[in-house]
Amino acid sequence: MYDTLTRQLQPIKPRNGKVVHIYCCGPTVYRDAHVGNLRTFLLSDLVRRALTMSGFESLLIQNITDVGHMSEDFEEDKILAQSRREKRDPFAIARDYEARFHDDLALLNISPADSYPRASECIPMMLGHIEKLFELGYAYRGDDTSVYFDSQKFNSYGELSGNRLDALKPGHRYEFTEGGAKRFHADWALWKAAGNRSEMIWDTPWGRGFPGWHIECSAMSLHYLNGHVDLHIGGIDLRFPHHENERAQSNPVTGDEAVDLWLHGEHLLFEGRKMSKSAGNVVLLRDVMARGFDPLAIRFCFMENRYRSQMDLSWASIAAGQSVIRRWREKYQEWCAVPQELTVAAQSEIVKIHGNVAEDLDTPRALIALREVEKSNSLSFGEKRAIWESLDSLFGLDLLKPPQEVELPAGAEELISARARARSEKNFIESDKLRDQLAALGVQVRDTRVVRMGSLQLSLRQRIGYPFHALLQFLVR
RNA sequence: GGUGGAGUGGCCGAGAGGCGAGGCUCGGGACUGCAAAUCCCGCUACACGGGUUCAAAUCCCGUCUCCACCUCCA
């Protein structure tokens, strides 16, 4: 995978034992995740599936930020601000959005992390981490009794993001809220004094307060992953300042590079602009579903683009993705008429696609290969079936899913048989009328019998070697 | 202003010196009473201006445009 720190491809490997330790920055649960956020969470899922494919075990920790993430004005915690807007308890809000976050992940077939520690429940380990930074001389108390990180003390500050400490200009927003409390403008708060804040605050040796945004990831990643992170995942916008600061906080404590490989997912644009509240183009997964799309159409769209390219999503591209996965599912059902055949040719396709995925998660190329399998004239149905079955868990697109069985609305059954009767009597005026009535009930009728023959005849010519019962089964379909 | 990335047909997108990916849409055809679906065929593109080369979407120089990051962000 492409490592942000060394700016080149690096192998993923477990440092201790055989389990790859992964940390992925999770959501701040003050609002619904939009599909852009979900793109990053999909990245960690794809990495895990690729690791499983390659025979590795992995342990994934993803934090839930329910405290300490300051909002735009740097005056109020994001959760508390939302709590004020919704006039509800801040933790109740956090729990609600957290549950909705999990719902969204499930809809996208993003397999759950092994653990989702909440920042608010990890305060002691953050305090312990800050304590160590004090002992090592990286932390100091400001005039406002907050605790700050001494950025100049950390020699390689800026290596991850490409910023240089002396080039970072004092930010006016920081100056606004933190006055002269910090020794240096690039320093940041590890622990913030409560001030006049009365909710979501904790008692500490340095007084009552709440954690800075970055400390949770340092403390929680090292705690839950036993002191070392093999792979750290997050959105590209977290590269600076969040991950730069996290690295500065973590490395002194571990006495080493705390993270072996920094993986960043690029941003999602929607119809040409970065998805954001201010651009007014925020799309939630439920918006996609409200338009009748399978949520996995989004997963498909994401996989059609390399994770480290900006990608532009649009309703048209979601529709295109949807029609491809629908066709693939239908094709698979056809291929299932014959037994699967894991031949040498099929295996070499599978190996090729594994290779695409293992090479810096080249899912676009892997999907191209899947299309080639679909269209191939040299692969048999049984081989295609074997390939689909072997790769389904790698892609997570539910390609083996049969068309949904749904209850027909009341009266539909009668209309369908009446229509069949009318058609057999060549009373097409009547049969079309009945079709319209069915359409009004939401039932779409397709007359498929003759249609299948066209492609079937072609397939039979190719499949002449199959046992007779398999052919018969296919004809019956 | 600084840094990074990108401009490919109606749309989305791969390719990174030499046989014009693929998908979606659209058009034509086969099939069908019709429709839908499916299958077949078609739509010949690489921002602009120079240059290098036998050969450039691909390399070089310049220009334009867009996007992102530069202390809210996935």
**Which helix (DSSP H) or strand (DSSP E) does residue A273 occupy?**
strand A273-274
- At residue A140, the 3 state secondary structure works out as strand
Nucleotide nearest to A35 (CA to C1'): B74
Pairing of strands A268-270, A273-274: antiparallel
Domain parsing of chain A, residue ranges: 2-265, 273-395, 412-476
A401 pLDDT above the threshold of 80: yes
A457 pLDDT above the threshold of 60: no
Question: How far apart are alpha carbons A19 and A112 in whole angstroms?
Answer: 17
Q: Are A217 and A228 in contact (CB under 8 A)?
A: no
Range A2-265 has CATH code 3.40.50.620: yes
CA A305 – C1' B64 distance (Å)? 27
pLDDT score recorded for residue A71: 57
Q: Are A209 and A191 in contact (CB under 8 A)?
A: yes
CA A163 – C1' B61 distance (Å)? 30
CA A169 – C1' B71 distance (Å)? 9
A217 pLDDT above the threshold of 50: yes
For residues A172, A177, A181, A186, the Cα torsion angle rounded to the nearest 10 degrees is -40
A224 pLDDT above the threshold of 70: yes
Strand B bases within 7 angstroms of protein beta carbons: 3, 5-6, 11-15, 21-25, 30-39, 66-74
CA A312 – C1' B5 distance (Å)? 13
Nucleotide nearest to A265 (CA to C1'): B74
pLDDT score recorded for residue A448: 59
- At residue A166, the 3 state secondary structure works out as helix
Task: Spell A240-251 as b/e; 16+ CB within 10 A means b.
Answer: ebbbbbbbbbbb
A296 pLDDT above the threshold of 90: yes
Query: What CATH number was assigned to the domain covering residues A273-395?
Result: 1.10.730.10
Nucleotide nearest to A25 (CA to C1'): B74
CA A293 – C1' B5 distance (Å)? 31
Q: Which residues contact A284 (CB under 8 A, 6 or more apart)?
A: A32, A33, A34, A35
Q: Are A301 and A398 in contact (CB under 8 A)?
A: no
Residue with tokens 């500065």: A248
Tokens describing residue A441: 């009930």
Ordered DSSP codes for A383-411: HHHHHHHHHHHHH-S-TTPPPPP-PPPTT
pLDDT 10s digits, A138-159: 999 988 889 999 998 998 888 8
Query: What ipTM is given for this predicted complex?
Result: 0.88
